[in-house]
Structure 1
């Protein structure tokens, strides 16, 4: 069974009653609950020792799900480096919503990861751009969220390896809302929806996307390539 760790900074839930009403068990608890039937799932939060991301936790995680917003800078560079190394060694990483500004995502992307935004609770229509992709399995041509925060282009990320979803918003903007990358042995999926004051993670299509992404991002069974100076495999005839 795939071992999943759901990481959430868990700050909005502590200070904002509106968020607590939507996610009484925290965003991490809600995601854990809908994944628990198919995966081995644990949670980790910012205020735990080592941010809940000890070597033991990271080394036993197949796929790490990351939600952060107001406390990105509180995650130490040391832990970010450890997460990066785990991704390069094969751990899958799923970055949700405002996690686009997390240290780990920006480090792996090498860009600002900036974008336009507007918090108006408008409709979002999420179009399936790659219907053959495993992350889109079981979805229709599109699905809609009645109320969401708008993210708009330009999204300052590298050209994705795969564009799975594109969003259209009631205000007219569009956004690359589901993109994949490979880094080392690891696979990365960024998925846009998930503003903390809206019940996005109760939506069945959103849940399906995240569950599909966990399966897609799970590690392959192989060692990381060896780099550096290499001895020849065959006898060299040159002097």
Structure 2
């Protein structure tokens, strides 16, 4: 199983507070705990040639993790199309936090993926609403984060195939924070927590959810469906 962790890596270059929280970058922190969980991981960032997502890299990637925020518009349409096709072909995709507004997530959802937001150091409580799902394995009734950015409904996404987490924020809003989707042969998991100025990705329960998500999103081996004009399997009158 090979995991590629993609991060635009822009905040880490321009914001001292983010560098203090994630000295190895958000991608480095996520990659590190996935390696501890036994996964083979690589990282890729926006400034690399082809954003680090060459055909060779993507063809060898079983699950792609995506974190972006201020540079969504800088991701080229060519790379978005390349990732989109790999998802349809079976690569898993985990979209984190502000990646909800990335080109790749919006193209796979077919909606604006817009929402309410507020930065006010609020408590977030992520309630598990699918306790029997593999992604919530090992998680109690809820995950509590002392400080996080608020995302609030309405979240303009298609109705999820599965809803795993619903967040409550100290200011009163709620949000669908853990959602799964199927597109083609690929599986997608959107997971909300992870604002760049908070140490969210050091939280062991958040790490557990992402590790579980990688396992869940891994490709399933199956024969490629056959499309187009088809010969009948049985004798058909008039043939």
Which residue is equivalent to 1:159?
A: 159
d(CA) in 1 for partners of 2:160, 2:225:
23
d(CA) in 2 for partners of 1:46, 1:33:
19
Q: Secondary structure at the match of 1:207?
A: helix
Which residue is equivalent to 2:121?
A: 121
Residue deviations 1:42-71, cap 9 Å, x none? 000000000000001000000000000000
Q: How many residues align?
A: 238
Which residue is equivalent to 1:81?
A: 81
d(CA) in 2 for partners of 1:66, 1:190:
10
d(CA) in 2 for partners of 1:168, 1:58:
36
Which residue is equivalent to 1:25?
A: 24
Which residue is equivalent to 1:193?
A: 193
Residue deviations 1:99-132, cap 9 Å, x none? 0000000000000000000011100000000000
Instruction: Compute the displacement of 1:93 (Å).
Output: 0.1
Instruction: Compute the displacement of 1:232 (Å).
Output: 1.8
Q: Secondary structure at the match of 1:119?
A: strand
d(CA) in 2 for partners of 1:142, 1:193:
13
Which residue is equivalent to 2:65?
A: 65
Instruction: Compute the displacement of 1:136 (Å).
Output: 0.2
Q: Secondary structure at the match of 1:98?
A: helix
Instruction: Compute the displacement of 1:204 (Å).
Output: 0.4
Instruction: Compute the displacement of 1:226 (Å).
Output: 2.4
Where does structure 1 differ by over 4 angstroms across 4 or more consecutive aligned residues?
Answer: none
User: TM-score by structure 2 length?
Assistant: 0.98
- After superposition, where does 1:5-44 map in structure 2 within 5 Å? 5-37=4-36, 38-44=38-44
8 Å contact from structure 1 (residues 89, 223) kept in 2: no
Which residue is equivalent to 2:3?
A: 4
Q: Are residue 212 (structure 1) and residue 212 (structure 2) matched?
A: yes
Residue deviations 1:211-236, cap 9 Å, x none? 00000000000133222222222222
Aligned-residue RMSD, C-alpha? 0.8
- After superposition, where does 1:39-54 map in structure 2 within 5 Å? 39-54=39-54
8 Å contact from structure 1 (residues 108, 183) kept in 2: yes
